[in-house]
Structure 1
Amino acid sequence: MSLKIRLARGGSKKRPYYQIVVADSRSPRDGRFLEKVGSWNPMLGKDSDKRVVLDVELVKAWLAKGAQPTDRVLRFLAEAGLTERAARSNPEKAKPGKKAQERAAEKAQKAADAAAAAE
């Protein structure tokens, strides 16, 4: 049985509230779970203590049993100092495409020509 430590959504429409649960990976997102190990309330401010609540001992026990956290839960665990999360980023993704770079260069050239003509 493949275990995941993941989020189960609760709360009402446009007011999300998540429980951090240990569940079989084949069970539905909001369906059956083995144990609740914490909660996450994204509606609270990032500096709030009650935004992410974890039962550290339960999480350690389930990690020792082989439960794999999802990416979002892994971020919470890394903030709590329970696990290490490798930084994942793709700096190439944020760069504009070829056409956008050409338009930016053309716009800069026009601005430089206009500045030269004004002098």
Structure 2
Amino acid sequence: MLTIRLARGGSKKRPFYTLTVTDSRNPVTGSHIEQVGFFNPIARGQEVRLSVKEDRVAHWLSVGAQPSERVAQLLKQAAKAAA
């Protein structure tokens, strides 16, 4: 089963997450099929906090990928900001 979830990166106390499409059985930091965006929770000022490739996310959702709870919230947030 495909899932869209966050993969943590960055250094200690400076998290940075990528939105990845992967098989749900893979480890969180393991291999992924495609990277469809990023989330920087500690962005300040002019820095981009959330970036989503909306066309690719729509594609993966159409073929059956399920977003995690947090990713679903972020996708709603991105759609709201784009409108």
TM over 0.5: yes
Corresponding residue for residue 37 of structure 2: 38
Count of residues in Structure 1 that have an aligned counterpart in Structure 2:
80
Counterpart-to-counterpart distance in 2, 1:77 and 1:31: 22
Counterpart-to-counterpart distance in 2, 1:6 and 1:16: 15
User: Taking structure 1 as reference, are residues 66 and 48 closer, same or farther at Cα in structure 2, changes over 3 Å only?
Assistant: farther
| Structure 2 alignment gaps of length 5 or more | none
Q: C-alpha deviations, 1:83-112, integer Å up to 9, x for none? A: xxxxxxxxxxxxxxxxxxxxxxxxxxxxxx
Counterpart-to-counterpart distance in 2, 1:6 and 1:40: 11
Instruction: Describe the SS at the equivalent of 1:81.
Output: helix
Corresponding residue for residue 17 of structure 1: 16
Instruction: Describe the SS at the equivalent of 2:30.
Output: coil
TM (norm. structure 1) is 0.63
TM (norm. structure 2) is 0.89
Corresponding residue for residue 114 of structure 1: none
* Greater C-alpha radius of gyration: 1
Runs in 1 of length 4+ with deviation above 3 angstroms?
A: none
State the Cα RMSD in Å: 1.7
Counterpart-to-counterpart distance in 2, 1:74 and 1:49: 22
Query: Which one has the bigger helix percentage?
Result: 1
Corresponding residue for residue 6 of structure 2: 7
| Structure of greater relative contact order (alpha carbons < 8 Å, 6+ residues apart) | 2
Is 1:78 paired with 2:76?
Answer: yes
| Structure 1 alignment gaps of length 5 or more | 83-119
